[in-house]
Chains A and B, each alone.
Chain A
Amino acid sequence: MLISCNKLKKHIQNSEKIDWLKIWDTFTIRCAEIEGVKEVGKNFDGVVIAEIKECVEHPNSDHMHVLKVDCGEKELVQVVCGAPNVRVGLKTAFIKVGGHIDGMEITSRPLRGIVSNGMCCSGKELAISDNHDGILELPMDAPVGMDLKKYLPIEDIIVEIDNKSLTNRPDLWGHIGIAREIAAITGNKLIPLEVEEVKNTKKDLDIIIKNPDLCYRYCGLKIENITNNKTPLDMQIFLYYVGMRSISLLVDLTNYLMLELGQPMHAFDARVVKNIEVDTAKDGDVYTTLDGVKRTLTKDMLMIKNGSKYFGIAGVMGGLDSEILDDTTSVFLESATFNAGSIRKTAVALGLRTEASARYEKSLDPNMTNLAIQRLLYLLRKENPNLVIASNLTDIYPKKLEEGQITLHKKNLNTYMGREISDKEVKDLLEKLEFKVTIKEDVFEVVVPTFRHTKDIFIEQDLIEEIARLYGFENFQPKPLKLELTVKEHENVFTQEYEVKHLLATKYNMHEVHSYLWYETNMLKELGILKDGVKLLGKQENNILRDDLSLSLMNIVNLNFKNYSNFKIFEIGTIIKNNLNKRVLSIIIADDEKNLAQVYDEAKKIIKYLFLVLKNKKIEISSNKETFNYYEEKLAKQIILDSEKIGELNILKNKYATKIAKKKIICTIDIDFDKYVNINKESILAMDVDKYPVVNLDYTIIGSKDIKYEDLKNILKEFKSNLIKKYTLMGVYENKYNIRYTLGSKSKTLENKDLLNFKERFIEYIKNNGLDIIE
């Protein structure tokens, strides 16, 4: 929202004592965020009011004129001008020789052979309007020779306030509200608005509110005999500076009031108004708004009806047939308050956010509607002294909004502030904002003005905020928290996740990636994999939440194969399975197809290492019958910890992997991280070291072609000897297993006969189990 400092000055006493460029830094930390402060009207100097005394056509031009103008000097000045509206008697803006505009100095120079000593300016050239149809037309009583900047409020400071920071402050959506804050910050007083009271001696207008829940108040006034519909220049400049176009006095005044008070208003051509009804629309009805767009209505939309026909969308936009025309001399003024939520929903549904709806959706104070009409009347009367009030100021106000009453406990105030504030200071601060304060022993009884009581201030914490911000946050002293010395930790998920990430990145050179919570539709399509699951509403693409983290990483795998022939990535992320959040660690090893065996081996080592180092636990791997059908069935493994499944190891089926990259292998590991974090770390116990030397015996055991190590292990497990410390698989070649037995005794150094005895028994045992053995 744009704010004019010239306008603010008119509302604050002693405003000349305020530094209007610097005050906004303070405003930002006391009230709302300022996005920019800009000085305007500085682009020219040496411009005076001049009257055209002579006007002849330029002999060498089809549109230029040669003028003699009176600019307050002894002699008339000759100037060449190309504007179409030049005429004798016109008073306009004139830059004298030596004056500047947009950084350029005006000099005497010939224009098509005739010397021009200066320049007549349009509003656009002076940057005070967007009118470039002709040179500026000043009123007849404008004093010739006067500096234009003295005559019109051209030099101004325009401030942009961040609308978002005003969301909760309906009272700040007009200049008055901002002026009130500035007055409070600088310790000045507001100047009351000049208004014209309406003596209700005429008839009431026919106004009915059918939905008092959606329309809180509706004020109307009929005014006739409006003959001057020309907006004064100073008001035009103000409107232009704050981003509005000047249209006509009546329209401009309704906008002016909205910018001044924050109250949106509407002026209908009184010739067409029969009776006003505020009612909701019928579903499916089509209505054409002022901007010429046909809009489909719903039963939730509040409408203004005239003679039972739609007349405007309440609080959003009027209709085509209600517009003020050039020959309009009587108007029906509307000043109403509507339900904020209803206006917002209507505006959003229609895609039509207007200046009016933006204000209404903040919850405006219904107690300013009649003030707005009286104020508009006052301003209109200035330009139309003979206007006639043709009706009562009709006021339909079913449920009056009263001031709020809040008890503020001194104890609570001091707790929140962290410091004591004197009663007087509290009273002063709040009264600056027009709250009424009664000091009692332990409390303040505070009356909240209605303009702060529509949605903003209801509880004592709201008052504390008002006190704290005006007190000034820079006056608070940072205070450390007192800490009870405990090591209580509610959970350690984050720490465990970090441990795992750190290990994978440092030990295995993996890269941590982040991906989205949903499958990429294009990737699924390309792979030809169908997924179903929880869906995002209102989205056609990327709308299925992932139930397999690894699969959702395939587009990242796809991307990285473009730059790397092999890589390892991981993510700890959420999946949605059976309508529940689950955390999963997913590791992907991507490599050339020919490296399948190494990749598979590495995958197993990674899992083993992870659990051994971080949990001091041994995991087992066995085949997995229950996995997604896009993984190789034969190589699908489950990771078992304490005889419970904790994860899976998979290889993406070749037919899918090929679609991601040719001749590549994509190995995926998924660990149930919810389970992982709940596994207690196996405690470490010290072990006795052998006192006597151990002996290693290496054997190669040869099994049948289809033997698995597990089969061999089961056999070895059954061979008992109290000399066995451990046995280790040293290597595998086809069906040949190199096993190393480590033998030793707690009580003595082994002798040859002990070894011979062991060897004999072991070899016999192996052979008896149908296996070959080489020593």
Chain B
Amino acid sequence: MEEELNSLKENLEKELKNCEKEADVLNVKSKYVGKKSRIMEILSSLKDMTVEDKRKYGSLINNTKKEMENIVNNFLESLNTQLKIDFDDTLDFDVNVGSMHPVTIVAKEVTDILKKMGFTIVSGPEMDNEFYNFEALNIPKDHPARDMQDTFYLDNSMLLRTHTSGVQVRAMEKYGAPLRICVPGRVFRNEDLDASHENTFFQLEGMVIDENISIENLIGVMQELLREVFHQDVLVRLRPGFFPFTEPSYELDCSCLICGGKGCPTCKNSGWIELIPGGMVHPNVLRAGGIDPEKYNGFAFGLGLTRLAMMKYKINDIRVLNSGDIRYLENFKIN
């Protein structure tokens, strides 16, 4: 009996090995574990056996039947789920990914940081008038900055804004004090193009108007901003500067990230890189924006977004930024 049961099992396995299709397996299944199969015959003969034989073979027969059913079912399952295909993972293929302009990416990063410090992002017009671009910013009529050779004047007596600072007074008029804004935007200078000069580039203006704002707040915000932008602690140095719309005015330098402040060609061996001009908002500018300089003061700063993008991505020719050349731009995958 034992022998027969074993050979039944072995034969089943042997026949299954030759099966390739589900139908073949099903045939084998009915032959070996179907209603008219030998094992069922044996099983049904069990009732005629002696008590001794029943005890001796009962569980063996039952177990064998279960085992055989399992073998067939497992085979069926594996036949259904096993894919016959194999892939060549070594083949090259392109993933099409779009790109965003490097300036867009940097602008997003900077504004995200400023937002965390409570700044909101506002915008202003690229074509503006002399009032907002100059007069309101305490830049008098005969100031060199207003010369034809620096500014794009238009035949409708408007101009293309030379800085995002024009939004300072616009925002003061619109939203009043207190105010905490940043303005990423495109500005225009009447310049000849070369590797480091563009007539169209991006700045980011920042301005805080509140009661009791100090130079120490300005330094604090700048340090925080730069640490987040460069993902490392940077040394910040303030130098006196001059801008008509801030008083006191500063040039903010950060320690050169290329050489770590030791001196290299990038920082002209000074160890510092001029990055953010700014200062305390001039009382005349506050007045132009309808804000009482006796009650409020504040600071403003300008960050060269294009410059920052060039530093960050080590872009050495500014002209590629406005070229629209996909070969160049597609490197700037979205991150």
Contacts and interface: CB of A to CB of B under 8 A. Distances in A.
Interface string B151-182: 01111101010000000000100110000110
B280 A504 contact: no
B280 to A, nearest CB: 6
Interface of B: 96-101, 103-104, 107-108, 111, 117-118, 120-123, 125-127, 142, 144, 147-148, 152-156, 158, 160, 171, 174-175, 180-181, 184, 186, 188, 199-200, 208, 210, 212-217, 219-224, 236-242, 247-251, 268, 280, 282-283, 297, 321-327, 329-330, 334
Contact of B98 (A505, A564, A576, A579): A505
Contacts of B103: 514
Contacts of A344: 142, 144
Given A464-B248, A479-B217, A559-B323, A501 B104 contact: yes
B212 A465 contact: no
Interface of B is mostly: mixed
A341 B143 CA distance: 8
Interface size of A as a range = 35 or more
Given A481-B208, A501-B100, A512-B104, A459 B334 contact: no
Q: What 5 pairs across the A-B complex have the smallest Cβ distances?
A: A418-B214, A556-B324, A465-B248, A418-B216, A505-B98
A476 B215 contact: yes
A634 interface: no
Nearest to A535: B155
A456 to B, nearest CB: 9
Nearest to B325: A559
A532 to B, nearest CB: 11
A728 interface: no
A717 interface: no
Contacts of A576: 127
Contacts of B118: 481, 483-484
14 contacts: A32-B239, A165-B240, A165-B241, A416-B280, A464-B247, A473-B237, A478-B223, A479-B216, A480-B217, A490-B122, A498-B104, A505-B99, A509-B97, A574-B127
Contacts of B283: 459, 461
B46 to A, nearest CB: 48
A443 interface: no
Contacts of A709: none
Interface of A is mostly: mixed
A494 interface: yes
Given A491-B123, A545-B127, A509 B96 contact: yes
Contacts of A493: 121-123
A348 interface: yes
Nearest to B107: A494
A416 B242 contact: no
B334 A537 contact: no
A480 B101 contact: no
Contacts of A477: 216, 219
A536 interface: yes
Interface of A: 28-33, 35, 165, 167-169, 341, 344-345, 348, 415-419, 459, 461-462, 464-465, 468-469, 473-474, 476-481, 483-484, 488-495, 498, 501-502, 504-506, 508-517, 534-538, 545, 553, 555-556, 559-560, 563-564, 567-569, 574, 576, 579, 581
B81 to A, nearest CB: 29
A168 B242 contact: yes
Given A479-B217, A564-B326, A581-B127, A491 B98 contact: no
Q: Which of B127, B153, B186 lies at the interface centre, i.e. has the most chain A CB atoms within 10 A of its CB? A: B127
A511 B127 contact: no
